[in-house]
Chain A
């Protein structure tokens, strides 16, 4: 079984400051990793994902995450946050169901990190 730990339940930062949201996972097999964002009163939206290839993945709104297999981590970073980044962020892991890796099993979520950006 897989597990995900998000070490910080809440992260307050000031606007334009850098931020890192930490995520560590546990699995005995290779995994796919995801970051989802949930804005107030909205559903989860996929922010970025790591399936294979380059260990550094980026989103369209300036976030990036790096897969570190040796440290079993997938931390999310942004060099300069905006007020609009205020949301809850969930790290999730899944295991490819087949060798081709095009399908996958259930998502296991971390506890979530509430990012609050202050002016």
Chain B
């Protein structure tokens, strides 16, 4: 149980285009979802926290107009990187927690974004 999927697993795009990454909780309702970014040989850095049906809370230094997060249902959150640039190339990871075992986050496998 508690499986989280991400799609796509890898994406390559041209500079200036927008990319959408999906995060789904497959067997539980995710009241809260988190989006992280991981640079090579570095740790995960939280970008934003989203609760179903409300606006995401962004961490300091994260541009909310560039990284659009939507959490429209209890099983799906999306991260859209708008007008992507090479410096946005990174590994993006989502996690989800439910209303019962809220002390544990379940992580997706991540999405490797490469912006040319």
Contacts and interface: CB of A to CB of B under 8 A. Distances in A.
Contacts of B102: 102-104
Interface stretch (B12-20, B72-80, B106-114): B106-114
Interface residues of B, number: 22
A111 B93 contact: no
Given A42-B109, A43-B109, A49-B104, A106 B43 contact: no
The dominant DSSP class at the A interface is: loop
Contacts, number: 49
A43 B107 contact: yes
B103 A45 contact: no
A51 B6 CA distance: 28
A104 B103 contact: yes
Nearest to B4: A43
A37 B41 CA distance: 15
B43 A109 contact: yes
A51 B103 CA distance: 8
Interface residues of A, number: 23
Interface in A42-69: 42-46, 49, 51
A90 interface: yes
A85 B91 CA distance: 23
B111 to A, nearest CB: 10
A108 B105 CA distance: 12
Interface in B31-72: 34, 41-46, 49, 59
A90 B103 contact: no
B43 A32 contact: no
B103 A49 contact: yes
A110 B43 CA distance: 6
Given A106-B34, A106-B49, A111-B43, A44 B103 contact: no
Interface of B: 4, 6, 34, 41-46, 49, 59, 93, 95, 102-110
Interface of A: 9, 32, 36, 41-46, 49, 51, 90, 101-104, 106-112
